[in-house]
Amino acid sequence: MQIIKDKQIIDDSWSYVADDAELKDGDISVSLARWKKDKQQLLKSNGKIGVRIGPADSVEDIAADLKDIPLIELDFPAFADGRIFSHAWLLRGRYNYQGEIRATGHFMSDQVFYLSRVGVNAFSLEKTEDLPAALSTLNDFTVNYQKSIH
């Protein structure tokens, strides 16, 4: 499957493992709850581990583990749930997270620009055919009144 990462459309091999599914090989992401429960086991797996955070989760809960997590997925249950934007800002601005922050779930191409300005650097859109248009929105504005965070 293709995603946008660091302003490019690339092939991606991460997959999300639901809480009730068995862990599998390769690079996988799991929910915050599963990460907390199975952290030791997950750290021993052969692939890389990412953690998926929803709007109602607290970023603070995972702050201490960020060094072990190369991918944080911020998952939109609905595009209007703006908590995701603050989660991204906190990850970069407060906890100095250096890994990949990827938007997933139900969000719009037209949110990609704002998300990029609060530190999201990868975007997994619902429809891959929207990727080129979404990528082009990153150039919508050349000036801003606020500092962006990367």
- Note the residues at the interface with another protein (CB under 8 A): 55, 79-83, 85-86, 89, 94, 108, 110-111, 113-115, 117-118, 137, 140-146, 148
Minimum distance between the CB of residue 139 and another protein, rounded to whole angstroms? Answer: 9
Cβ proximity to another protein: between 8 and 139 the closer is 139
Compute the half-sphere exposure of residue 149: CA atoms within 13 Å on the CB side of its CA.
19
Minimum distance between the CB of residue 118 and another protein, rounded to whole angstroms? Answer: 5
Angle at 3 between CA 120 and CA 101, to 5 degrees: 25
Minimum distance between the CB of residue 147 and another protein, rounded to whole angstroms? Answer: 9
Cβ proximity to another protein: between 45 and 137 the closer is 137
> CA-to-CA distance for 46 and 94, rounded, in angstroms?
30
> CA-to-CA distance for 89 and 150, rounded, in angstroms?
9
Cβ proximity to another protein: between 42 and 111 the closer is 111
Cβ proximity to another protein: between 16 and 114 the closer is 114
Edge-to-edge strands, sheet with 15-16:
8-11, 2-5, 122-123, 100-105, 71-76, 49-53, 28-31, 15-16
